[in-house]
Amino acid sequence: MTLTITENNFDELVLTSSKPVLLEFWASWCGPCSMIGPSIDQAAKDFAATVTVGKVNVDTEEELCDRYHITHIPTLAVFCDGKLIEQRIGAMPYKELAVWLTSLNQEA
Q: Active-site residues: which are they? A: 30, 33
Q: Distance (Å, rounded) from C-alpha 51 to C-alpha 48?
A: 6
DSSP state of 93: -
- Strands ordered across the beta sheet of 52-57: 3-4, 52-57, 21-26, 75-80, 83-89
Q: What are the C-alpha distances in Å from 22 to residues 18, 32?
A: 13, 17
Q: Is the dihedral of CA 24, 25, 29, 32 positive or negative?
A: negative
